[in-house]
Amino acid sequence: MAVRRRPSRIGHQAIPRGPYVAVQLAPDALVQAAWHAQPETRTTPLVVAGDKSVMRAVSPDAVGVRPGQTLAQARLVCSDLLVVPPDTVAARLLYDDLLRTLSTVSPVVEETDPAQGLAILDARGCAALWGCREDVWTGDALARGVCATLTAHGIGVRAGCGPSPLVARLVCAQAQPGAVIALVPAEAETCIRRLALDDPALGLTTPVVSALQDVGVRVVANFLRLSYAAVVERCGPEAGTLHRQLAGLDIRPLRRWTAPLALVLHRTVDDCASALVVDAILSEMCADLQARLATAGQAVATITLRMTLDGDRQQIQQSRHWPALHTLVPLRQAALALRARCSIDAAVTAIEIRATDVQSPAARQEGLWTAASDRKRERLTGILTAYARTTGTPLQKRWRRDALTLDGWICEDASIS
């Protein structure tokens, strides 16, 4: 006979019975985006360097290198580093794939931290779907199922299960890539109490940790013995909020993520290495996209092109447009411009166009700088130039700053060369 679990009491109030599951991209999404672009680098010490050669993400093989170090500091530790630029578009698409996968197993998914690739879902009421009883349900079966699904699609994650969102996030931070840690309330209480305050998962700043360590407070158990007022007075409101969350006094509900409307067109290609053939396929896909937009009376402002090349390599490009696109000519030009930014150095096996930021058409579009528009612009420019050279009085005016006028502006003739 199973014994019904009691709710945990990390602080003075009972934590609401979960479970919650936290899932995080591991390694970092920027590293996985580089792996998808160059699969041969999976076994190479790889770092993603941002502005001023500062490490933004580090692969597991780059032993001793930490995010935040400069390139010079990193090479002192690991001399054979492979440095790649950050691909934020591909990293965001990986996070979107994570959210969409989680939304298929739970109706409540929170977009917790896109920068860290972290999302939390509410697993309450899902026990029967995974063959478990509600009184002994910890969410571990659900977490393992999600990890297996994402791993099959080439996305590495780790997961943690706990009785509250905060506990699930802290447990997830302790898991290795590909692993799942599930704690019942009693185990979660012991684990959290032993956690050091300088653990990055808690999110306390260095000055706050130093101030607490000066008075002998080094672990969560000692931190919870302090009163809320004392913590706020000494360390500020952010530390006070963490104190209430650890004590079970501030359990906020998850902010439900809703998948944005997107139009996705996918085409499988039989090992095509010709750019002309790829362009023809893109034109056909844009015609299909335009037909769907015309049927719904909608337009799209963001176009994302994902091409899969031989060897599971991916080329991802994205562009934003205003006004939003809804006719064939601008859609085709946008897709072909994205294709031109890709490097087709191997056979293409799949093409995907994802149209997001769906909205109502804001204007009538006949094309982006069509031949007729170019002719009208050239003819008008010629008329204005000839008039200015003949009469010496240009028809064009411009406004510029002038401190001597009453309103600070003056209108003058614009020179035409």
The string of pLDDT tens digits covering residues 256-310 is: 898 888 999 999 988 787 888 899 999 999 999 999 999 988 999 999 999 998 8
Q: Could you give the 3-state DSSP secondary structure of residue 357?
A: strand
Ranges of CATH 3.30.1490.100 domains, the chain: 263-359
CA dist., res. 85 & res. 41, Å (int): 14
Lowest mean pLDDT across 77-86, 244-253, 278-287, 350-359 = 244-253
Q: What is the pLDDT of residue 14?
A: 44
CA dist., res. 220 & res. 189, Å (int): 10
At the topology level, CATH places domain 263-359 in Dna Ligase; domain 1 (3.30.1490)
pLDDT for 17 beyond 70: no
> Which pTM value belongs to this model?
0.76
Q: How far are the Cα atoms of 4, 148, 289, 309, 347 from residue 350, in angstroms, in the given order?
A: 51, 23, 17, 7, 10
CB distance 265 to 277 below 8 Å = no
Lowest mean pLDDT across 157-166, 193-202, 287-296, 355-364 = 355-364
Q: State what percent of residues in the chain have pLDDT above 70.
A: 86
Give the pairing type, strands 118-122 and 409-413: unpaired
Cα dihedral value 375, 379, 385, 387, nearest 10: -170
- Which residue do the tokens 């944005």 mark? 260
Which CATH architecture best describes the domain 1-259?
2-Layer Sandwich (3.30)
**Confidence tier at 409 by pLDDT (50, 70, 90):** low
Which residue, among 86, 98, 110, 102, has the nearest Cα to 31 in the 3D structure?
A: 86
pLDDT for 238 beyond 80: yes
Ranges of CATH 3.30.70.270 domains, the chain: 1-259
